[in-house]
A and B are shown apart, each in its own frame.
Chain A
């Protein structure tokens, strides 16, 4: 399964990013290249879950404010900076659900639906689309989030692990279990 490419970076790119981060700790203006690089991917992550472009714009802005404000706490431990941004984005999106500013949305395209149905050993899209909608509403948030990141956003297990703060292997196991739960709900 192909995964999102922005995450997989060369060592040179990671090093140049770390240099920008160090400079940004002294002066936030230096953070602009990182802001420009990741704005779109963070915005897309947020809007897929909120379906409100104005709110997504606000949340994305807050993600970068939090990142800059907490930059002194950031230490490179082999995990790309983007994972740290996605963790902040995840937390900000959930905060906006708690504040009732946003309603949880799941955005699907035909390719993603076909992929999930394939994993469930089902093949007729039109026949099962309605059922999938129903089942995705019933799935627990943590399971939905894993299915969403893996199958709808095509993230690697390594990236999922870094976003939810578990090992790559653990992310794989958790995603597999989430898929099993989806299967059980589908059969009900």
Chain B
């Protein structure tokens, strides 16, 4: 069920500005990049691929 709100007080631009955290965004971007670079990730994917290949032949 959708909630319909009438004339709800909106946050001010200053309040929204205070929520900004570009460093957190950069940290999350770096964490994602590190995840894909992690050898464990490809090791697990590689092992899973070999096992499935062996299973099917």
A and B bind: yes
Residues of A participating in the B interface, judged by any CB pair closer than 8 Å: 28-29, 31-32, 35-36, 39-40, 43-44, 47, 51, 53, 57, 60-62, 64-65, 68-69, 103-110, 113, 129, 133, 136-137, 144
Select the stretch in B26-34, B39-47, B48-56 that faces chain A: B26-34
- 19 pairs, A vs B, C-beta closer than 8 Å: A28-B26, A36-B22, A43-B16, A47-B11, A51-B5, A51-B8, A61-B21, A61-B25, A62-B28, A68-B29, A69-B29, A103-B3, A105-B4, A106-B5, A108-B5, A110-B7, A133-B4, A133-B6, A137-B4
Residues of B participating in the A interface, judged by any CB pair closer than 8 Å: 1-8, 10-11, 13, 16-17, 19-22, 24-26, 28-29, 32-33
A-B contact count (CB 8 A): 78
- Complex contact A108–B3 (CB within 8 A): no
- Complex contact A69–B25 (CB within 8 A): no
Provided the pairs A40-B17, A43-B16, A43-B19 are in contact, do residues A61 and B4 lie with their beta carbons within 8 angstroms? no
B4: which of A40, A57, A60, A108 is its contact (CB, 8 Å)? Answer: A108
